Amino acid sequence: MAKELWKGNEAIAEAAIKAGCRFFFGYPITPQNEIPEYMSLRMPQVDGCFLQAESEVAAINMVYGAAGAGARVMTSSSSPGISLKQEGITYCAGAELPCVIVNIVRGGPGLGGIQPAQSDYFQATKGGGHGDYRLIVLAPASVQEAVDLVQQAFDMADQYRNPVMVMGDGMIGQMMEPVEFTEVEKRPLPEKTWATTGTKGERQTNVINSLFIDPAECEKHNHRLYEKYKAIENNETRVEKYNLDGAEIVFVAYGTTARIVKNAISALEKEGIKAGMIRPITLWPYPYKAIEEAAGLDSVKAFMAVEMSMGQMVEDVRLAAAGKKPVHFYGRTGGMVPTPKAVVEQAKMILGGVK
Amino acid sequence: MLNEKRVRIVTGHYGSGKTEFSVNYTFRLAEAGKKTAIVDLDIVNPYFRSRELEPQFNAKGVRVISSSVKGLSGDLPALSPEIYTVLQDTSYEVVLDVGGDKVGATALGRYHEYFDREPYDMLFVINANRHLTSTPEEAVRYLRAIETGSRQKVTALVNNTHLCSETRLEDIVRGQELAEKVSSMTGLPVKYIAAERKFADLLPAGMQGEIFPIDIHMKKPWED
């Protein structure tokens, strides 16, 4: 198929349909409205179900229901709406329900604004809802990557029986880029023998639940979940390493911020400064090892995390660098986007300081 | 070029590039020394709207009218009463940049009395690389939906086929074939072939419409 021009949100919705998603429950909020709008057009064409719920809380609980019945199901929202969904998300994690949640992040806190942001990093990767649980969090940096990751997200969710979040800043949802829909590599997936599909009198009843009367059982459940999370860490951590060879400064950035940083790296190169970048593609599991390795490189003098936030992912960069090299931060927030020029200036200031 | 009626309405699917076309058209009117206004009527897109270029327009003496709620984080479909000024004051040359799809086009409906009174031109921008407008039948269906939503009639077509930074000459040529098919199906002329300036001199002769060189103003944050 030839390349076409797609708006990020529409492309995400089409990718979900191509991945076999046949249930979508959502509630409108800018800047992700084109996802439910597109789903409302497309789902009837593929005998799927689109439903605009009465609230985000209702939508995520419909996701719980459909996932429990073994369906491929997705919901989408933006920051304030994702906050409302947190209870349902931890229930999905507790009951081990495969589903895909898209967060097209806008400025916060509170209602914030509708311009792009990355200030939901803590919420996505460090809990969000209550209890010991993990979401797989995928962070595309282009519309093409969003399309590829959304399709893979459904397989990951099914393989591990775990919710997967695709998190893009508002720019990912709103910008137009050339896209080619290609088949993603198929994984061998377990049969959903646990789904509540009706016993037909032939088997024991399946129960979807996250309640444990016996605390010892609940602890055991948590241990089992953490074995699963360990496997996800081992198998699914993804990262792009860019221009690290001989780099004096290593940027760490994800999503569209990484595109801005790449531009800054070219500008620095013209001034004779070698800079590289580590771009986490999975925000959980986080690519600690890639940063740890870069911290061990002789050429590297410092790290600089660049985010559309007041500094959230930078904490994971510090954890990984473990004091071997200094970690700096530059960010814009509330819907403001860093410029390549500002990133270049910050980098030069840092290098001037450590030289 | 630019010889449309005083009020130019620019419509099209989102992603067609109607905002980029509107912005270029507006700058060109201003450069021709006209008293120019651009009206950002986009109530459906939260990003990449012509109002983002307000400082650049102001520097060229162009009046920018958008939402009555100032600030880029407003997503209220609140149209400014100021819009009436440029519809009533006929000394202005006006470009109305209308949001994509028929829902976006409904914003135009409330001004239909003005358009009934004074002739206008409504340009429909086509990008053959966008789904829902990539075949002649689909493009005509989209055009008719926008006419219904806006209560106005399209008067001419603009071929603006592109793939952002990955546009090739053959995209524009293929888009022209589509636009000319739409033209023969609807009887509407292809008025402009909008193409990035670097392609303007390379386009083959004999195409319906005038070549309209485009300078990219609506940039992504990492684009120079």
Residue A95 forms part of a structural domain? yes
Residue A3 and residue B14: Cβ atoms within 8 Å? no
Residue B1 forms part of a structural domain? no
Residue A49 forms part of a structural domain? yes
Say yes or no: A232 and A285 in one domain. no
Say yes or no: A13 and A32 in one domain. yes
Residue A205 forms part of a structural domain? no
Residue A119 forms part of a structural domain? yes
Whether the pLDDT of residue B71 is over 80: the answer is no
Q: ipTM value, please give it.
A: 0.91
Q: Is residue A24 a contact partner of residue A36, using CB atoms and an 8 Å limit? A: yes
Q: Does B131 touch chain A (CB under 8 A)?
A: yes
Say yes or no: A334 and A267 in one domain. yes
Residues A124-166 have pLDDT tens digits of: 999 899 999 999 999 999 999 999 999 999 999 999 999 999 9
Residue B222 and residue A4: Cβ atoms within 8 Å? no
Residue B12 forms part of a structural domain? yes
Residue B175 forms part of a structural domain? yes
Say yes or no: A338 and A265 in one domain. yes
What would the two tokens of residue B93 be?
Answer: 């040359």
Say yes or no: A257 and A132 in one domain. no
Residue B76 forms part of a structural domain? yes
Segments forming the whole domain that contains residue B209: 7-214
Interface test with B, best of A1, A3, A5 (most B CBs within 10 A): A5
Of B48, B73, B131, the CB nearest to A113: B73
Q: Is residue A313 a contact partner of residue A329, using CB atoms and an 8 Å limit? A: no
Domains held by chain A: number: 2
Residues B43-53 have pLDDT tens digits of: 888 889 999 99
What would the two tokens of residue A61 be?
Answer: 């609980």
Residue A260 forms part of a structural domain? yes
The domain that contains B101 carries what CATH number?
A: 3.40.50.300
Domains held by chain B: number: 1
Residue A176 and residue B46: Cβ atoms within 8 Å? no
Residue A353: predicted pLDDT: 67
Nearest partner of B56 among B219, B195, B221, judged by Cα: B219
Q: Decide: residue A336, CB within 10 A, 0-12 exposed, 13-18 middle, 19+ buried.
A: middle
Residue A189 forms part of a structural domain? no
Q: Does B208 touch chain A (CB under 8 A)?
A: no
Residue A333: predicted pLDDT: 97
Residue B207 forms part of a structural domain? yes
Say yes or no: A228 and A285 in one domain. no
Sequence-distant (6+) residues with CB within 8 A of A201 are none
A101 φ/ψ angles, rounded to the nearest 5 degrees: -120, 125
Q: Which helix (H) or strand (E) holds A303?
A: strand A302-307
Q: Which helix (H) or strand (E) holds A283?
A: strand A282-284
Q: Which helix (H) or strand (E) holds A284?
A: strand A282-284
Instruction: Point out which residues pair with A330 in neighbouring strands.
Output: A306
Output B68 or A141, whichever has higher pLDDT. Answer: A141
Q: Is residue B46 a contact partner of residue B69, using CB atoms and an 8 Å limit? A: no
CA distance B217 to chain A (A): 14
Say yes or no: A276 and A127 in one domain. no
Residue B2 forms part of a structural domain? no
The domain that contains A158 carries what CATH number?
A: 3.40.50.970
Whether the pLDDT of residue B75 is over 80: the answer is no
Residue A192 forms part of a structural domain? no
Say yes or no: A343 and A268 in one domain. yes
Q: Does B69 touch chain A (CB under 8 A)?
A: no
Residue A3 and residue B166: Cβ atoms within 8 Å? yes
Segments forming the whole domain that contains residue A278: 240-354
Q: Does B76 touch chain A (CB under 8 A)?
A: no
Residue A174 and residue B73: Cβ atoms within 8 Å? no
pLDDT category of residue A314 using cuts at 50, 70 and 90: very high
Residue B31 CA to residue B25 CA, distance in Å, equals: 10
CB atoms near residue A267 (< 10 Å): 17
Whether the pLDDT of residue B104 is over 90: the answer is no
Of B14, B166, B222, the CB nearest to A340: B222
Of B15, B46, B221, the CB nearest to A256: B221
Say yes or no: A261 and A298 in one domain. yes
Interface of A with B (CB under 8 A): 3-7, 30-31, 107, 112-116, 170-171, 174-178, 256, 259-260, 262-263, 335, 337-340
What would the two tokens of residue A68 be?
Answer: 């429990």
Residue A200 forms part of a structural domain? no
